[in-house]
Amino acid sequence: MATKLPKVPVVIVGMGWVGGIIASELTKAGISVVGLERGKSRDTQDYYHVHDELRYASRYELMQDLSKETVSFRNTMKMRALPMRTYGSFLLGEGLGGAGVHWNGQYYRFLPYDFEIYSKTVERYGKKKIPENMTIRDWGITYEELEPYFVKYEQMAGISGETELPPNIGKMSKPFATGPMKKSPGMKLFEDAAKKLGYHPYVIPSANLSEPYKNPDGVERAPCQYCGYCERFGCEYGAKADPVVTVLPVAKQTGKLDLRMHSNVTQIIHDGKKATGVTYVHTPTGEEYTQPADIVILAGYLFTNVRLLLLSKLGKPYNPETDTGAVGRNYAYQVNGASTSAFYEDREFNLAMGAGALGSSIDDFNGDNFDHSDLKFLHGANIRFTQTGLRPIQYQPVPAGTPKWGAEFKKATIHNSNRVLSVAGQGASMPNRYHYLDLDPEYKDAFGQPLIRMTFDFEDQDRELVKFIAQKTKEIADQMGGTKTEIHDSIKQYNIVPYQSTHNTGGTIMGSDPKTSVVNNYLQMWDAENVFICGASNFPHNSGYNPTATVGALAYRTAEGVQKYLDKGGSLV
Amino acid sequence: MANDKPNQPQDESRRRFLKYSGTALGGVVLGGVIGGLVGSNLKQTEKETAPEPGKSGTAPENKDYNQALMFFNQDQFLTAEAAAERLFPKDDLGPGAKELGVAFFIDHQMASAFGTNARDYMQPPYYKAEATQGYQLVFKRRELIALGLDAMNQYSNTKYQKPFVEIAPEEQDAVLTAFETDKTEIKDVPSSNFFAMFLNLTLEGAYADPLYGGNRNMAGWKMRNFPGNQMSYTDYIEKEEFVKLEPLSLHDHLELG
């Protein structure tokens, strides 16, 4: 029997970026918050020995323990889903700060086109342009409406970027909090080549601070040292914005945040109309607790958000056969695979040096910034050169045709370790009627509850996008003065083995139709007005960008919605 | 550009860090730079003497008592050492897997949580998987590696009437190729599964921080001009020319009590 705890105004499930931002905003407004995090606590002191590729990058030190819970996967509904037994395609964060600790810090606001993708596509090309089963939709919020929340995130995190940005991305009402990152020689080569071709390169906006910064909450942080250990690592300097060094200390300082670690939420308690709290297990003891609350906020990674709704039988599960229901709909990912490598026989670059968000990019072939009339795909990709710090275990650069081991392999990898610059596209992922999340019928987690099951594959849309974007990467790389270039322009089936991207989206999507979306544009659940769900699980599709900027903006929007709801109750739209 | 003080870059990078983070240190620090890190930086600068020969960074002349087996038997160790050497051989660029201690690395990894798949989902049932669904074997890594090494010896004994360590390098390559291309199997498991795992472990052993038993004396990193664990590249990141730095390991970064 679960121990029933005293009721609180707000309980948040998950203490990553979303949970941290909402906790910070609410506690600053004087509202008491209980934060439940299933992993352990963390701070910068834990990263004293973080420059360890084996432990953090290859053995996934900061990631969720898959022996307790994983995801099952199949490409199509005809296949049997099998559990992801070990990490590959994407990495699930765990512990204080969540995936916000191990990100690279690349910060892109989604394009105005993204939020109105359906209307704008139909307006320019007609309804017939959208292929059968592609379930793109407007988000129920516009770029202009979300703009002030982007600003809040940027000022809090100290996002570094240029003052003058290209005209083909969303307008900013306030410049970035700090100046752009330093430019490495590779970035200069990329930018010069892109400019020569008439494109609009800019330095990637970065959450790795370019200079010392004090944010509006009074948090001071040191600048990035370009040490080359960001993605999969925590930042020992606190230079990379993460929840642990930005929003969580602010929430803690109010004395209004009751942060409980090792607290794994297993159920949302509800009567079909409203939630009354959550049940969680304190994992070290196995003790079960019920935490009653006026408001329940789901702030987990998308798999957690979707799974908790389905396990708790809250909301209508999506059924791809009938195309009805909402929970689990529009799972999307990131379409990588378009790239060109430039090899330099005559020079070496300092490629071990870098930062997670160090690089330059163009959006000339992202969103609807180019004419798709004669193309067999929608949307596009941000094309970039990044210098994130290349490490010797996971980076084995060889020209095509090199043996996979032995003397020639060794010689080629050593020779090329500082001689290759890669120009790559980060492709948008369009939703499909048959790409979705539901509960696995067979596999269970450590508590005996069903795993989440993913059904996902690449479609013609994705293969066409990769083919087109790859040509553009080659065009640029060919201008970068290398000895030769090699293009990669094809993707096949989606395969969960090789690492691709931890940009999984959808499942609790936002929208203006209560039948086919889970939350309204305050991220308030249509089917339970005192439940708010926020994260990349809200995205109806994924753009050709990293998701954190838009997740952060939505979190600020949610915090505002929660305060409105506490004031007046009812549906906020 | 070579580093002009190869024995002291650690302190230099720490000083640089302190310089750049000065404002944060002066103010109220809620997040970011923490006391422990700063405290040890300050202590470290007081003893700025160059390491003595025989300490980190140079080849130890004495026995290394950390070089012993945690998991393999003697045959498995020698087979692993010989096989890894073929995958990553000694050449004019520098040492191969044997000299780098790769077989010790693999042995230690197999004895660790990684070897027992402690953080992997190992619940049944097990079904035959599509290639897109990844590893679906009931075998744990250490079981697969041990059986694979035994199987390479058996294969070698059958084909060449000698154990793997005694056959010629070209013959060893032929055995490895047979395992790589599924010309044989290990207890119904495709041998390519073993091969791929062993190759991956070999590269990890060549390039992981020396604390794990491979990459002996950071020689793997030196071949690639990989600088290892440095605290800051702020002064170099914009430089057009290649900056060659003497690598540093995590050991160099540890404050001993």
B213-257 confidence digits (pLDDT tens):
999 999 999 999 999 999 999 999 999 999 999 999 999 999 888
pLDDT digits (tens, 9 = 90+) for A479-500: 999 999 999 999 999 999 999 9
Catalytic residue among A102, A270, A379, A503: A503
* Contact: B234, A73; criterion CB under 8 Å: no
> Angle A232-A553-A532 (CA atoms, 0-180°, nearest 5)?
95
Tell me how close the Cα of B35 comes to any Cα of chain A, in angstroms: 8
Whether pLDDT at A566 is above 50: yes
Higher-confidence residue: B53 or A247?
A247
Count of Cβ atoms closer than 10 Å to residue B20 Cβ: 20
Mean pLDDT for the stretch of residues A182-193: 98
**A503: nearest Cα among A532, A458, A464, A537:** A537
In chain A, what residues touch B212 (CB-CB under 8 Å)? Answer: 54
Let me know if residue B68 belongs to a domain. Answer: no
At residue A141, does pLDDT exceed 80? yes
- Tell me if B58 is assigned to some domain: no
B126/B233 same-domain check: no
| Shared-domain flag, residues B174 and B207 | yes
Per-residue pLDDT, averaged over A532-541, amounts to 98
Contact call for A74 and B133, based on CB within 8 A: yes
Q: Within 10 A of A165 (CB to CB), how many other CB atoms are there?
A: 19
* pLDDT on residue B61: 62
CB A278 within 8 A of CB A293: yes
Comparing alpha-carbon positions, the chain B residue that sits nearest to A57 is B208
A217 vs B contacts (CB less than 8 Å)? 30
The model's confidence at residue B47, banded by pLDDT at 50, 70 and 90, is very low
Interface A-B, measured as beta-carbon pairs within 8 A, has a size of 237
Q: What is the DSSP letter of B95?
A: -
Per-residue H/E/C for A494-556: CCCCCCCCCCCEEECCECCCCCCCCECCCCEECCCCCEEECCHHHCCCECCCCCHHHHHHHHH
Mean pLDDT of B152-179: 97
What is the structure's pLDDT at B59?
Answer: 52
Whether B60 is covered by a domain: the verdict is: no
Residues in B closer than 8 angstroms to A185, CB to CB, are 238-240
Q: State whether B130 and B162 are in the same domain.
A: yes
Would the CB atoms of B237 and A396 count as touching at under 8 Å? Answer: no
Find, in chain A, the residue whose alpha carbon is nearest to that of B206. Answer: A393
* A34 pLDDT higher than 70: yes
Percent of chain B predicted with pLDDT > 90: 70
Long-range pairs for A114-123: beta carbons < 8 A, 24 or more residues apart: A114/A139, A114/A143, A114/A367, A114/A541, A114/A543, A115/A139, A115/A141, A115/A142, A115/A143, A115/A146, A116/A142, A116/A143, A117/A378, A117/A379, A117/A540, A117/A541, A120/A368, A121/A368, A121/A378
In the predicted structure, residue B43 carries a pLDDT above the cut 50: no
* Whether residue B184 sits in one domain with residue B110: yes
Share of chain A above pLDDT 70, in %: 100
Position of tokens 């074997």?
B137
Q: What is the distance between the alpha carbons of residues A14 and B112, in angstroms, rounded to a whole number?
A: 30
pLDDT at B20 over 60: no
The pLDDT tens digits of the residues spanning A224-271 come to 999 999 999 999 999 999 999 999 999 999 999 999 999 999 999 999
A291 close to A277: Cβ distance less than 8 angstroms: yes
Are B81 and B24 contained in the same domain? no
In chain A, where are the structural domains located? Answer: 3-568
Sign for the CA dihedral angle at A385, A387, A391, A394 comes to negative
Confidence of residue A534 (pLDDT cuts 50, 70, 90): very high
User: Chain A: residue nearest B18 by CA?
Assistant: A222
Q: How confident is the model at residue B63 (pLDDT cuts 50, 70, 90)?
A: confident
Residue that is written with structure tokens 């293009």 in the block: A487
Residue A155, pLDDT > 60, answer yes
Identify the CA nearest to A252 among candidates A48, A37, A39, A107.
A37
Question: Is the confidence at residue B36, as pLDDT, over 50?
Answer: no
Give the pLDDT mean for A118-140. Answer: 98
How large is the average pLDDT for residues A559-565?
98
B115/B98 same-domain check: yes
**Contact between B121 and A413 using a beta-carbon 8 Å cutoff:** no
Q: Is residue B55 part of a domain?
A: no
Measure in Å the smallest separation between the Cα of A244 and chain B Cα atoms. 7
- At B185, is the pLDDT very low, low, confident or very high (cuts 50, 70, 90)? confident
Interface residue of A43, A65, A237 to substitute, partner B, most B CBs within 10 Å:
A237
For residues B22 and B79, membership in a common domain is answered with: no
Output the pLDDT for position B60: 52
Segment A319-336 shows an average pLDDT of 98
Contact B121 A70 (CB under 8 A): yes
Residue B3 covered by a domain: no
User: Stretch A401-414: mean pLDDT, rounded?
Assistant: 98
Active site residue A49: no
Mean pLDDT of A361-368: 98
* pLDDT level of residue A1 (50, 70, 90 thresholds): confident
Q: Is the pLDDT at B13 greater than 70, yes or no?
A: no
Quick one: B234 and B180 in the same domain? Answer: no
Average pLDDT over residues A122-135: 98
Question: pLDDT grade, residue A143 (50/70/90)?
Answer: very high
Res B50: pLDDT: 44
Q: Are B119 and B233 within one domain?
A: no
Clarify whether residues B87 and B191 are in a common domain: yes
B83 and B37 assigned to the same domain: no
**CA–CA dist B98, B86 (Å, integer):** 9
Cβ separation of B237 and A358 shorter than 8 Å? yes
Q: The domain A3-568: what is its CATH number?
A: 3.50.50.60
Pairing of the two strands A420-427 and A287-298: unpaired
At B166 the pLDDT is 98
> Domain span at residue B245?
9-50+227-253
Compute the average pLDDT of residues A524-552. Answer: 98
How far apart, in whole angstroms, are the C-alpha atoms of residue A134 and residue B144?
Answer: 43
DSSP assignments along B112-178, one per residue? STTTTTTTS--PSP-----GGG----SS-HHHHHHHHHHHHHHHHHHHHSS-GGGS-HHHHHHHHHH
Q: What is the pLDDT of residues A278-317, one digit of tens each?
A: 999 999 999 999 999 999 999 999 999 999 999 999 999 9
Distance CA A140, CA A540 (A): 10
Note if the bond before B125 is cis, omega within 30 degrees: yes
Q: Is residue B64 part of a domain?
A: no
Domain identity same for B200 and B78: yes
The pLDDT, as a whole number, for residue B1 is 38
CA distance A165 to chain B (A): 22
Span A433-478, pLDDT tens digits: 999 999 999 999 999 999 999 999 999 999 999 999 999 999 999 9
Q: Do A65 and B119 touch (CB under 8 A)?
A: yes
A189-226 confidence digits (pLDDT tens): 999 999 999 999 999 999 999 999 999 999 999 999 99
